[in-house]
Chains A and B, each alone.
Chain A
Amino acid sequence: MPTFFERRQLVTPGDLIAEGEYIAGENAYKEDNKIYASRVGLVEYENKRVNVVALKAFYIPKVGDTVIGTVIEVGFNGWMVDIHSPYLAILRASDVLSRPFKPQRDDLSEVLNVGDLVIAKIVAYDRAHDPQLTVGEPGLGKITRGQVIKITPTKIPRLIGRKGSMISMIKQETGCHIIIGHNGIVLITGKRLEDEQLAMMAIHKIEEESHTTGLTDRIAQLIKKEKEKAKQKEEIKSEPKT
């Protein structure tokens, strides 16, 4: 049962990773008892499972995922939402209005219009049907303020960190509220624009260096340094007055 790549080694589609009694995990497939890579990524072994952590992938909906999307169409009885996936999502009017929907009376574009951002949860999805969304839970619904950035969905685990260590550190250090959509869209809301910008910079850094070790400490230091800099600037500005 040989393996041909070490853990965390870079593979491209078609690379033969292992042979024998292995199971093809994520971004890998099995043919004639051989495990091949199906995407560019880093090899991970998980007992008998061979995974490839993709360096580039797109979001495929999963029931229960929280996503952030843009309304692109107002229809007769609901909205079409672009969730940065091959599939467009549907948000039904009845879900938002929480009472029977009357086309004569209700103007859907007054509730949500084209271009609006929403945080929603996926309640239904299968191969034959587009994903369906709900906003009927606390914390979901229309986004009215904050900054939105996009990261590769495969890098979300790194942004969250072990037991949420990374994301809670960023929240604490920047004082921002951060929501990570499983589709790779991240919403940052802080008291000041400067705080939001600091959080955005940290997240971009994580995406760029997602495969390095000791990342949490480095990001923490980076934020502290930036905060120091900002402080000094303010002091310089305020000095002439005194």
Chain B
Amino acid sequence: MSSIVVRVKQKQIAQLIAKGKRLDGRGLTDYREIKVEQGVIERAEGSARVLLGMTEVMVGIKIEIGQPYPDTPNEGVLTVNAELVPLASPTFEPGPPDENSIELARVVDRGIRESKAIDLEKLCVEPGKKVFIVFVDVYVLNHDGNLIDASALAAIAALLNTKMFKYEIEEGEVKIKPGHTPLPIRKRPIAVTFAKISDKLVVDPWLEEEQIMDARLTMTTDDDGNICAIQKGGSGCFTQKQVLEAAKIAKEKAEEIRKKLKW
């Protein structure tokens, strides 16, 4: 597509939003169609695939035994990593994680960690020595905008689907026993992202909206309607009023989306 066509389309998107409409027919606070599939990779302890319109994200959970952090000897460890896989977009390049994938991983991590979604104390095998480490690997498969919401949703969907192996301790060694137990989950944090375009907030921006947005704001809320993580991105700004309005909408939207998760 030549850049002239893009410019014309971008102008149209902005003008429509100024009138409260969107090019794909959605209202300003409507999500694209959301599909959540839990348990898609058998080799993983937990997994999920989320489609947000054409954005596609897969999350796989692996669990290993390792050492706890010195400041939390009685807690399991949560590690979130995100890969912007080159096949997902012509703009993604192979190589070490860039600031975008690091930010994505850290925003997803913050939602799970701060909402205390996983009962990490139940993942302690031997205090100070052995705990379960939960690896959350976010894999972006197709980028059509709003990777944060899709990844956060896929992550919690995969965690809800995660089965831990049973074990017993024999002479200080962990022996795996047959059978599984579900991962102890307490909360389901949901991220809701806004783009500011034409001085209006739009929910769930798709790629072409992201390309023209002034700034981005993600609000993650838990089952009780509390806010547990926020991230502003992009080189624009928000008013105080917009921030508070976003918090209210985020809470409502998260409640709707949470219904799509099997628990």
Do A and B interact directly, with beta carbons closer than 8 Å? no
Residues of A within 8 A of B (CB): none
